[in-house]
Each structure stands twice: as C-alpha cells, then as structure tokens.
C-alpha cells in the first residue's frame, strides 16, 4: 500500500500539472490513499480479463473523483483520460522491464504492481521520474510556438461577452491577494460586463474619493516596452470553448492597443 500510495500521488500530481488543474496536497493524498487501498485487490484470486478491466476502470474513477472532487462531465473525462494514459504508460514500462529483465523483486497480479525494494530507493526513483516528466513537458511547451486560440465566454450579472481569445503559455498574471489567474481583455470589449465600481474609479480623479470605491482589485503587469497596473474584477462565470471553468478567475481591463490581431483577450493556460 505504501508503494502504491507514492506512485498514485505522483501520477495524480502529474495529471494536475498536465491539465493545469489546481489541487491541494490534502486532496492528492486522499486520492492516492484511495488508490493504495484498492491495490489490495492483489490479494484476490486471479481475475478474468473482463472483471479485471471493469475493476481497473472503477478504481480509476474512484481515485480521480477522490482527488479532484465533483467536476462537470467534460472536465472529469479529461482528467480521467489523462490519469488512465499516465497509468497505462507507467504500467507499460514496468511490464517491459519485467519481460526484458524478469526481476525477482517484482510481482504483477490483477493489474497491481508490487515492488520489493527499499522505501528510499522507491522514493528516489519516483521523484527522479517525476522531475524528468516536468522538465520534458516544460521544454516541449516552450518549443511549441504555435498560437492556440479558444472561444472565451465571460458572464457578469445578466450580461455576457463571447470573444476569440489567445491561450498564452507565458502569461503569469495573478491577482495578488487570492493568487487567482487573470484574463486580460480590452476595456471596450468588456464594457457590457464591467462593474460600475470600475467605471466610477476611472471617472474620479481625486484620490480621497477613489479610496472609498470598494470591490476593485489591481494587477501589476510587465510587457515588452511597457508596465503598469490594471484594474480587475472577479467574473461570475467563465467558459472556455463552452466548458465551465471551476476556478475563480479575474478579468483585467487594458487599453485597446495592448491586444492586437484577431484575438480579443489573453487567457493564461492555468485556467484550462
């Protein structure tokens, strides 16, 4: 169970990293513990292919749900698919090693892997694999220069804005207090969803009166050739390609000349 707890923890963490889904250490441990508990199926009699497959799918469902909680169907299926892919990839490597080297300290039964190695070695090898995964994924993202776009829908009160947005892997804007991701949108595009507090702030020039206006946050930014502070507000609802975003996301308002081309907003990949 300790072996599977560590492996499941790293697999679930890799899923969150790959899908840009935030997850707490507590939820990671919960999901890993559920998966580790299910690893006791190695003590069952040898299962048939259909039973083993059904059990494997059920364990994956319970593990992902325990780790990432209740999600919209589309978001859950994405997490589930990535988790299964990572699991099959890991199992494929282990099985390949089994057939090539036939180590005496490895047992595979009912799709459960048991490694009879020291805890220190297991942790060391697992951490090295995880670091390599993150390094390779990060480098691959930097080498991919193709611009990715999406359809962004922002709902605020009874109004909504639907625009074509650029997914920027280099965007690291965060709302300073909550550390929530920030979408940048021109003021004219977001006019219909802009709260009245921001409009009042823009109109008032006296600092004493500006300090009385609440519900406004500010995000410092630095771009090529310019820097400053953008006013922002927390959106009621965000949809990316019509898929609801389950995170708290802020909308920062910029001047129209900051965003050029076909896209009318900049979306950080953290919210995908």
Instruction: Please give, one letter per residue, the 3-state secondary structure of 199-260.
Output: HHHHHCCCHHHHCCCCCCEEEEEEECCEEEEEEEEECCEEEECCEECCCCCEEEEECHHHCC
Q: Are residues 6 and 137 in the same domain?
A: yes
Average pLDDT (24-48) is: 86
Q: Are residues 73 and 57 in the same domain?
A: yes
The pLDDT of residue 217: 80
Of 97, 117, 143, the last residue of a domain is 143
* Stretch among 55-64, 221-230, 239-248 having the lowest mean pLDDT: 221-230
> Which pLDDT band, with edges at 50, 70 and 90, does 46 fall under?
confident
The pLDDT of residue 153: 93
With vertex at residue 149, the alpha carbon angle to CA 147 and CA 154, rounded to the nearest 5 degrees, is 145
The pLDDT of residue 152: 92
Interatomic CA distance for residues 144 and 166, integer angstroms: 14
Average pLDDT (263-268) is: 88
Q: Are residues 17 and 102 in the same domain?
A: yes
> Tokens representing 111?
């799709």
The pLDDT of residue 184: 92
Q: Are residues 167 and 184 in the same domain?
A: yes
Q: Are strands 159-168 and 266-268 parallel, antiparallel or unpaired?
A: parallel
> Which pLDDT band, with edges at 50, 70 and 90, does 146 fall under?
very low
Q: Are residues 66 and 138 in the same domain?
A: yes
Which structural domain range is residue 70 located in?
A: 2-143
Of the candidates 175, 155, 166, the residue with the CA atom closest to the CA atom of residue 268:
166
The pLDDT of residue 143: 47
> Residue 161's domain is classified under what CATH number?
2.40.70
Phi and psi based region of residue 185 (left: phi greater than 0; alpha: psi -120 to 50; beta: remaining): beta
- Structurally, the chain folds into a number of domains equal to 2
> Which pLDDT band, with edges at 50, 70 and 90, does 141 fall under?
low
Q: Are residues 134 and 219 in the same domain?
A: no
Please list the helix, strand and coil fractions of the chain in percent, rounded to the nearest 5, in that order: 50, 25, 30
Of 126, 143, 160, the last residue of a domain is 143
Backbone angles phi, psi at 77, to 5 degrees: -60, -35
Q: Are residues 195 and 240 in the same domain?
A: yes
The pLDDT of residue 138: 65
Q: Are residues 45 and 170 in the same domain?
A: no
Does pLDDT of 130 surpass 50?
A: yes
Q: Are residues 126 and 224 in the same domain?
A: no
Average pLDDT (67-86) is: 86
Average pLDDT (149-156) is: 90
Q: Which residue has the tokens 């993150």?
A: 134
Q: Are residues 222 and 262 in the same domain?
A: yes
> Tokens representing 257?
């000349």
Q: Are residues 202 and 77 in the same domain?
A: no
Handedness of CA 230, 234, 236, 241 (dihedral sign): positive
Of the candidates 166, 67, 245, 13, the residue with the CA atom closest to the CA atom of residue 59:
67
Does pLDDT of 57 surpass 70?
A: yes
> Tokens representing 23?
């997850």
The mean predicted confidence, pLDDT, of the chain is 79
Does pLDDT of 102 surpass 70?
A: no
Q: Are residues 136 and 20 in the same domain?
A: yes
User: What are the C-alpha distances in Å from 125 to residues 47, 117, 119, 166, 209?
Assistant: 30, 11, 10, 38, 59
Of 118, 143, 168, the last residue of a domain is 143
């Amino acid at each position: 169970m300790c072996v599977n707890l560590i492996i499941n923890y790293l697999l679930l963490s890799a899923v969150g990293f790959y899908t840009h889904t935030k997850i707490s250490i507590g939820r990671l441990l919960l999901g890993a513990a559920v998966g580790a508990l299910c690893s006791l199926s190695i003590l069952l009699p040898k299962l048939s292919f259909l039973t083993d497959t059904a059990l494997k799918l059920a364990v994956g469902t319970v593990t992902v749900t325990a780790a990432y909680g209740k999600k919209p169907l589309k978001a859950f299926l994405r997490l589930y698919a990535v988790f299964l892919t990572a699991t099959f990839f890991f199992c494929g490597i282990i099985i390949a090693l089994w057939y090539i080297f036939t180590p005496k300290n490895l047992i595979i039964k009912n799709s459960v892997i048991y490694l009879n190695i020291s805890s220190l070695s297991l942790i060391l090898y697992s951490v090295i694999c995880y670091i390599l995964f993150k390094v390779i994924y990060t480098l691959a993202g930097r080498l991919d220069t193709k611009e990715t776009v999406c359809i962004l829908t922002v709902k605020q009160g009874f109004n909504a804005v639907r625009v074509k947005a650029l997914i920027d892997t280099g965007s690291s804007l965060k709302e300073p207090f909550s550390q929530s991701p920030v979408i940048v949108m021109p003021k004219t595009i977001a006019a219909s969803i802009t709260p009245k507090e921001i409009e009042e702030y823009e109109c008032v020039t006296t600092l004493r009166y500006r300090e009385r206006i609440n519900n406004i946050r500010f995000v410092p930014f630095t771009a090529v050739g310019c820097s400053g502070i953008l006013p922002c507000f927390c959106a009621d609802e965000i949809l990316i390609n019509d898929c609801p975003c389950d995170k708290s996301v802020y909308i920062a308002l910029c001047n129209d000349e900051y965003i050029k081309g076909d896209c009318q907003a900049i979306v950080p990949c953290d919210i995908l």
